Amino acid sequence: MLNPQARAIRLIEWLLLISALILFAVGTLLGDTFFLRLATEALIFGGLAMSVDLLLGIVGLLSLGQALYFGFGAYLSALILKEISPSFSLAISIVILCSALLGWIASFIALRSKGVYFALITFGLAQVAAKVVYNTRSLGASDGMMGVPILSIWTPFGSLDAANPGTFFLITLLTIGALYAILKYFLTTPMGSLWHAIRSNEDRLAYVGYKSKAPKQVAFVLATVVAAVSGALYPMLRGFVSPELMFFSVSGNAVVTVVLGGVGTLIGPIMGSVLLTSFKSVIGTWTSHHHIVIGLIFVIIVISAPKGLAGLLTEHFRKGASDE
């Protein structure tokens, strides 16, 4: 039998998948645009939160600048779609390759330090990059880039129309789902165990024969690719990118999402993103001060469920198991 946390994760996976499919079916049937696009955005930012969680919850590294890689993916994808060809597979492949390279280079800078210094370096790198983009005329400077063309997606059954919100929602679901599956696969390998070991007691690792640098680098590169691929979906949904995507508010929001959903569960952050995005939208229609309401909700959740929503479920299953 699965342990309580694995059961909580399994439940969230099914919950999210089933609600996604119901939303798709109902949304398509009713010709909805708003909710499908909102859910697509939730998944995209969920991907970013997942990459923060890989570093924070699995390896124990707090990144305060993950928006840098998200924004990198978004800008690169917008550039490819606009300048080369509006092809989904081309944009995603180039983003994967380039972000892996970027993550590898950035890892040498960021992983020089640990703890709070790692957090500050990642924060600083992102601030620098955001400022550079903000001031680069060829990238649209503070306006960003608009007019990203509508995507065409090649499949063996013919080209898909990504202008249809239902279609693009499914594509996003598949992409984020694939990223999640890849990260979950890594957790079943010895590499995944090394990440947990680093979080638990990094200095001990040398005495069982490992340098901690290489596993941390693998995780950092993976997190960069996950953030960048999530970012690459953004201009496909919105048709534009702006330098705000790299700002601290996006990085910070991703950390909040992770804490809300459940640190170290990977799927918790996706659920956290779905909830936060819906809150923002729903509460935003009532009041323009929605940040106050969301802030209060966040405080209440962190106090009553410090391990996030996934932690609540884990606790529920643990109690259930001990009652039996």
Give contact residues for other proteins (rule: CB under 8 A). 3, 185-186, 188-191, 193-194, 196-197, 199-201, 203-211
Other residues' Cβ atoms within 10 Å of the Cβ of residue 253: 19
Closest distance to other proteins from the beta carbon of 98 (Å): 22
To the nearest whole angstrom, how small is the minimum distance from the Cβ of residue 170 to other proteins?
Answer: 29
Q: How many CB atoms lie within 10 A of CB 109?
A: 12
Q: Which helix (H) or strand (E) holds 279?
A: helix 267-286
CB 50 within 8 A of CB 180: yes
Q: Which is nearer to other proteins, 181 or 303 (CB)?
A: 181
Judged by beta carbon, residue 204 or residue 291, the one nearer other proteins is 204
Q: Rounded to an integer, what distance in angstroms lies between the CA atom of residue 118 and that of residue 102?
A: 17
Sign of CA pseudo-dihedral 296, 302, 305, 309: positive
* Pairwise CA distance, residues 264 & 190, whole Å: 17
Nearer to other proteins, 113 or 193 (CB): 193
d(CA 155, CA 174): 14
Smallest gap from residue 199 Cβ to other proteins (A)? 7
- Least Å distance, CB 174 to other proteins, is 23
Q: How far is the CB of 153 from other proteins (least distance, A)?
A: 30
Closer residue to other proteins in complex, CB, 137/211: 211
Taking the complex as a whole, how short is the minimal distance between the CB of residue 196 and other proteins, in angstroms?
Answer: 6
Cβ proximity to other proteins, 37 vs 213, nearer residue: 213
Can you state the angle between helices 67-79 and 213-238, rounded to 10 degrees? 50
Amino acid identity, position 218: V
**Rounded CA gap, 314 and 268, in Å?**
11
Instruction: Determine contact, residues 163/96, Cβ cutoff 8 Å.
Output: no
CB nearer to other proteins: pick between 196 and 316? 196
- DSSP bridge pairs for 145: 241
Number of Cβ within a 10 Å radius of residue 268 = 32
- For other proteins, the closer CB: 204 or 289: 204
Mutual angle of helices 34-53 and 213-238, in 10-degree steps: 170
Name the minimum Å distance from CB 203 to other proteins.
8
Between residues 68 and 226, which has the closer beta carbon with respect to other proteins? 226
The least distance separating other proteins from the CB of residue 44, rounded to whole angstroms, comes to 28
Q: Which is nearer to other proteins, 208 or 303 (CB)?
A: 208
Q: Are 61 and 198 contacting, i.e. CB atoms less than 8 angstroms apart?
A: no
Euclidean distance between CA atoms 72 and 53, whole angstroms: 19
Under DSSP, the state recorded for 242 is -
Start-to-end CA distance of the chain, whole Å, equals 13
Question: Shortest Cβ distance from residue 193 to other proteins (Å)?
Answer: 5
